[in-house]
Structure 1
């Protein structure tokens, strides 16, 4: 495990297989966000996105909670700031969320304890979110006379407008089971199984073509909530043609046909560890 960055706010490490972990490390304030932490997160996420060896990112929190949301001292400071300063400050949070949402590689969120306010937005931006049964979520902004404005596009995409009508307005907390039902998290597991559950997701993702994973993320962004227009159909045709004729696409198909692992497999035992047959003839074809 290589340490890439360390501060009073964040810890960033990377494994030899290209799995990076970004840990929120302000446990003394339950990993609450302030402007310094947001700036560091943006910088480190951009560095990880540009790192040639990174294939996957884990985001988690140190201590008892994932994140309690906004730091109260920061909120008090911004309440007395000018409208222009508040616009700039909100812009930084918007940049953070977009940077996570648009991260070129898969992002897995590990949630334990509280995930409140802006932390719910952070979870919504992860491609895969795993939570422990005692994790709790709350969009508490209206209690303070505020609204979850900047995080709303991502949270509403995750839980839908109907659920948002309830939880944005009531500011009630909800548990991990409800979060899973709403689509905010994908899987709930016991705390002592969080690491092994995450590892299973990691191995499944590392089995897949790195460029194909990036293209799949972009495909979702380009297709979701858009009408099925001639332009969209043309885009999907172009994409599959590009992928099929790419070096990675050719390698993947040849590996499948010759019953060997493709060259991007860093762990030759990954399939076996997942309980999958080494030569799976039922693999879905790309269309």
Structure 2
């Protein structure tokens, strides 16, 4: 597919979705939301893609909502806003639900929905010049659609502060509260991303999908007999897959598993 607001870069088994509106700091509007949704669907169905990286061209990852889009929303009816918000929510669900690992590559500003995009990815690595904010309260609104992903990352205690204060915080704080996995010097951002990508490519793709599904199924549940039984079933099922057999065989034969050659 061709996109107006995105650039898809492929290098081997890695696809990078570049938000490509640097003139407005990769702020998103209806078009960018629709194209991100379509790009995620395209890459999810591409068996040649093992890892998806989400980045922003220029100085900033994403400054959040486009001002013209916000102006239109303020003048729209509740039903029109509901339809708009549903499209945004569907895009975030598709990004978060990708069947392969996703990494947010964050530099500069990641504000409002930009923070949400980073949180919706499985992993996030930020340059030390990055800054974040759930800034919606400053406009008299709330970070509702991004909240499931931000809450998953930082927990309710930090969310209670930042959802209400709309404070901007730096990459070190983002790492401290769990929003990003690592904060590195800006000049080392791509090196850090590449290091993580190589670690991901060394692991079985079906096992990675099963791990994502495991976390979704177990998170928030108490440790009881039902959870123990479910985990036992999941590992027993995984051990009998062709991928697991190849993984064990490759280990004992002291060779790379087949998926590392793809």
Query: Contact 1:19–1:58 at 8 Å: present in 2 too?
Result: yes
Which one of the candidate residues 149, 170, 188 is aligned to 2:144? 149
Q: Is 2:228 the counterpart of 1:212?
A: no
Q: Is 2:12 the counterpart of 1:12?
A: no
Query: Contact 1:133–1:190 at 8 Å: present in 2 too?
Result: yes
Partners of 1:106 and 1:24 lie apart in 2 by 18
Q: Is 2:97 the counterpart of 1:108?
A: no
User: 5 Å matches for 1:130-145?
Assistant: 130-145=125-140
Cα RMSD, aligned residues only = 1.2
Query: Contact 1:67–1:116 at 8 Å: present in 2 too?
Result: yes
Secondary structure in 2 matching 1:197: helix
Query: Contact 1:8–1:26 at 8 Å: present in 2 too?
Result: no
Task: Name the residue aligned to 1:120.
Answer: 115
Partners of 2:227 and 2:54 lie apart in 1 by 32
Query: Contact 2:103–2:124 at 8 Å: present in 1 too?
Result: yes
Which one of the candidate residues 143, 163, 166 is aligned to 1:168? 163
Partners of 1:96 and 1:226 lie apart in 2 by 27
5+ residue gaps, structure 2: none
Partners of 2:26 and 2:69 lie apart in 1 by 13
User: 5 Å matches for 1:9-88?
Assistant: 9-16=5-12, 18-88=13-83
Secondary structure in 1 matching 2:8: strand
Deviations 1:152-175 (A, max 9, x none): 111011111111111111111000
- For residue 6 of structure 1, report the CA deviation from its aligned partner: 4.4
Query: Contact 1:252–1:262 at 8 Å: present in 2 too?
Result: yes
Task: Name the residue aligned to 1:95.
Answer: 90
Which one of the candidate residues 246, 253, 262 is aligned to 1:251? 246
**Structure with bigger RCO (C-alpha 8 Å, 6+ apart):** 2
Query: Contact 2:3–2:35 at 8 Å: present in 1 too?
Result: no
- For residue 8 of structure 1, report the CA deviation from its aligned partner: 3.0
- For residue 234 of structure 1, report the CA deviation from its aligned partner: 2.4
Q: TM-score, normalised by structure 1?
A: 0.89
Give aligned pairs, total.
Answer: 262
- For residue 238 of structure 1, report the CA deviation from its aligned partner: 1.4
Partners of 1:229 and 1:43 lie apart in 2 by 40
Q: TM-score, normalised by structure 2?
A: 0.97
